[in-house]
Structure 1
Amino acid sequence: MGPRTAGADPAGGRTRVSPTGDGVCVDAPLRLRFEHPVEIGRRGRLRVHRGDGAVVDTIDLADPEVGRRPIGSARSEYGELHLWNYHAVLVEGEQVILTLHGALDPDEDFVVTMDPGFVRGHPGITIEDGWRFHTRTPPLPGARSLAVDAAGHRHFCTVQGAIDVVPEGNDRDVLITIAPGTYREIVYVPPTKPHLTLRGADRARTVISYPNNDLLNGDAAMRGLPIEISCCPKRVLEESDRFNCWRAVFGVDADDVTVEDVTIHNTTPYGGSQAEAFRGNGRRLRLRRVSLLSHQDTMRLQGSCYVVDSYIEGEVDVIWGTGGIVVVDTEIKALGPGYLTQIRNVDDGPGAVFVNVSLTRAPTVPDGSTYLSRVELSRFAHSQVVFVDATMDAHIATTGWITTDVGGRWDTSRLRLREHGTRTIDGRPVDLGGRSGVARLLDADEAAQFRDPATFLGGWDPR
């Protein structure tokens, strides 16, 4: 399914298009490659025709609904099919990436046409230009092993395409392997598809990225919509969890899901609103050898989740959620002044425990500018955050912790901010005498309990 030429580009060269030929994934994105940067026009249609001439999908630049579609059979708390906002057309320099509204039929012939001006200055692509391909037949639902490859050499071209073929109510372990490549997509695992392992080649070579955020798929984007249409499923905090579950690059609402050996990058720029790389709201979730990259709200976890041998970076509320979260042997890098965590316990249940983590910073982050956690006392005065055997650079504030809504009427007696064995990056003990009075140091016996994730996670041992 390599690229071929079809039509002239705006500078008089040839436009290279893909996919073409036989054996094309049913979920393959469409791509046009030029010899120079291009821009998309304001009007025009790209159409996908079946072999019999019927139009099966259209990307219409003038249609305000062109960037809305279902992803992963997501449904609101009220059972309504959720429509995500997405970028039907992405321009990356000399390349245009087009995402169709759904998978194509298997074992069918297709031809693609494009109106003049769809790409500024381009004369268009006609049926005679010959952008044709034939789709392969993917594995049937119920397969125990599925393979993804952005280059089109496996069952699917997208991660979501593999998840979609897993049957509703799945009760068997399913392995989804993801070949090296960059996958520009929003990924969602619904509550009805547990027992999945998604395994990349390694996190340096397998990258899932997308500019998803609150302005595209969150409270800011959906403010004013009836709550029945897009209200988050499995809400933990009814007031807070209205629409903010849809803004992650990779979202999981199922139990027993493992993600390993990948990088998940929310490419929303600095200041572009809340933008999770990964959001998990399930029991017994595991992240192993992953890199999570964003600026604000990089990782949100609810339910029970274990993170090990990983790398997480961000600026504000880098890790947040309701717990229980265990993060082990992981680097957490501050990209700017802010807060590493914001844990929101509403009861005495488990919060977040960090064991043997390394807290590092970008070169521009000043000394004393970053807090271990911030807690909103008016709503989450039961919150639990524990650091055991952590190494910390000098960007961590001497007080360590910060609380908001600090008026005298708030009871902090059930606040569980704890620390033990903190060292500098070069291994020297940190003087914790200046820590905030709302926190407490653990003794050796207390700290030992938190080194065992099964003790903290109600008997589940994720190791």
Structure 2
Amino acid sequence: MKASIPVLVTALVLVTTPAAAETGPRFSAPGRGGTCVDAPLTITFPEPVTLGSSGAIEIRRADGTLADRIEAATAKTDKKNIGQAISDTGLPHDFSYESIMVEGGTATVHPHRQFEYGQTYTVTVEAGVFPGHGAASWRFSTRKHPPRNLRHLTVSAAGAGDFCTVQGAIDAVPTGNTRPVTIDVKRGVYTEMVYVREDRPYLTVKGAGQGRTVIRYPNNDLRNGDKALVDGGPADVCPRRVLETSDLHNCWRQTFGVDAADFRLADLTVHNTTPDGGSQAEAFRGNNDRILLERVNLFSNQDTLRLQGKGFVTDSHIRGDTDFVWGTGTVFIQDSVLESTDRGYISQSRSDHTRPGYVFVRTKLTRAPGVPDASVVLGRTAVWRFTHSQAVFIDTKMDAHVAPVGWQIDPNDCAQAGSASFWEYGSTDLDGRPIDTSQRLACSRQLTPEEAKRWSDPSFVLGGWNPLDGVTR
């Protein structure tokens, strides 16, 4: 490493020279017994740095063979497989991602694949990768063997767990898994896309608290969805499509995606950091049955939460502006906050005649500062496409940003609403005073007390599944 590059490299051991030592860079290797095989490589400069358009970062094994090469010129639009994802055609699917992310004086390198256990690697940063800084080289060694207990895994960004990333722990679970597996994610910020494929059921991913464990990534439709894959091939076709045509490529654009059944997410935040106006960008997407979200923050703007099978959400906070709770699923959401960040639409149910849609019980509808009165509706749908769409709000507290009409349909003609069901019961303002619902959409209706009681039972809505059996308090 040239003496002119004073950097801090995390999870790595510097190949030092006397001249380099005189510059005083500090190095650390978090984790006991070597570096995580899934660790991103972090380089910290003493001042803000930019990513160049030439040069590469090479990672070589101890025998000199090339393990990975990351080009600076293509780092912002690089591709790799995540979670062993496969398309509907059985081909591996590669996600678009940033292999080198720069934030201030920190550059984080995300290799294309995991390292090997018990291996020593040398990393070389070529001149041009970071303009104004010359070449650098260091080496590190990984842990000798994988964790022995695959029923209970820990994740720590600081290297104090079995893995350094959430995806690394998920990938350690064998495909075809038939037993419950718990993944504890320690406090920290995890900048990554996460994907759970269909044949990894029975997973619990549990953080250290909603404000303590944060999984974030700016994934969206322009990066990994319909707009990005307009010319997509067989490797890009979504598995488990509910709507054959419109779901063709829109399953890859979320921060955290799950195609497996019997999945539980608890005590953490998932934040899709795509800027407002940056296209559809789910924080969490679940496309299977018995998906349970408990004490989670889900933050984005458009399409924050998408559930396509049977789902249950409790004691959570969901934030967004456009259709930020949506999908084809049968979903029960209780005791949660739905925060509108701009004028728009809270829900868009695309349920069909075979199953219920989205049911909200004891939720609180709030707004961010600056969101105008009467600028948000409870739900909307295109009734010419989804004639059986259903959304139900029971015992809901809502601020004045909810418009008196309550609902929106396309076309705006109740004679064409088909059997769409927009139901409500016991709505109040935030102080608990009943609100005036006399101006609600003509084809919506208020439930009777008996109906409200029945639809307030999650096992009734979810076809016999009682998710409360799996909820911890």
Common fold, TM-score beyond 0.5? Answer: yes
The match for 1:323 among 323, 329, 332 is: 329
Label 1:148 to 1:295 Cα distance change in 2 as closer, same or farther (>3 A).
same
On the 8 A contact 1:6/1:15 being kept in 2, the answer is no
Structure 2 letter corresponding to 1:418: W
- Long gaps (5+) in structure 2: 1-9, 469-473
Q: Could you say what secondary structure the match of 1:286 adopts? A: strand
C-alpha separation in 1, matches of 2:140 and 2:77: 23
Q: Deviations over 1:108-128 (max 9, x none)?
A: 1112111012111111113xx
- Long gaps (5+) in structure 1: none
The match for 2:441 among 414, 436, 442 is: 436
The match for 1:132 among 116, 137, 140 is: 140
Aligned ranges 1:59-78 → 2 under 5 Å = 59-63=70-74, 67-78=78-89
Residue matched to 1:301: 307
Q: Could you say what secondary structure the match of 1:449 adopts? A: helix
Residue matched to 1:447: 452
Deviation at 1:137, TM superposition (A): 1.8
Deviation at 1:14, TM superposition (A): 6.0
Q: Deviations over 1:309-344 (max 9, x none)?
A: 000000101100012010000000000000000111
C-alpha separation in 2, matches of 1:267 and 1:50: 34
CA RMSD, Structure 1 to Structure 2 (Å): 2.0
Aligned ranges 1:320-359 → 2 under 5 Å = 320-359=326-365
Label 1:444 to 1:89 Cα distance change in 2 as closer, same or farther (>3 A).
same
Label 1:373 to 1:20 Cα distance change in 2 as closer, same or farther (>3 A).
closer
**What percent of counterpart residues are identical?**
44
Whether 1:370 aligns to 2:370 is: no
C-alpha separation in 2, matches of 1:24 and 1:4: 10
Deviation at 1:92, TM superposition (A): 1.1
Structure 1 letter corresponding to 2:97: Y
Deviates more, 1:56-65 or 1:379-388: 56-65
Residue matched to 1:424: 429
Structure 2 letter corresponding to 1:424: D
Aligned ranges 1:152-231 → 2 under 5 Å = 152-226=159-233, 228-231=234-237
Deviation at 1:229, TM superposition (A): 1.9
TM-score, L = length of structure 2: 0.92
Structure 2 letter corresponding to 1:30: L
Q: Could you say what secondary structure the match of 1:74 adopts? A: strand
C-alpha separation in 2, matches of 1:314 and 1:381: 25
Deviation at 1:273, TM superposition (A): 0.8
C-alpha separation in 2, matches of 1:232 and 1:16: 45
Deviates more, 1:48-57 or 1:443-452: 48-57
Structure 2 letter corresponding to 1:273: S
On the 8 A contact 1:20/1:132 being kept in 2, the answer is no
Deviation at 1:3, TM superposition (A): 6.5
C-alpha separation in 2, matches of 1:441 and 1:54: 69
C-alpha separation in 1, matches of 2:30 and 2:357: 50
TM-score, L = length of structure 1: 0.94
On the 8 A contact 2:365/2:398 being kept in 1, the answer is yes
Whether 1:397 aligns to 2:385 is: no
Label 1:450 to 1:136 Cα distance change in 2 as closer, same or farther (>3 A).
farther
C-alpha separation in 1, matches of 2:413 and 2:432: 38
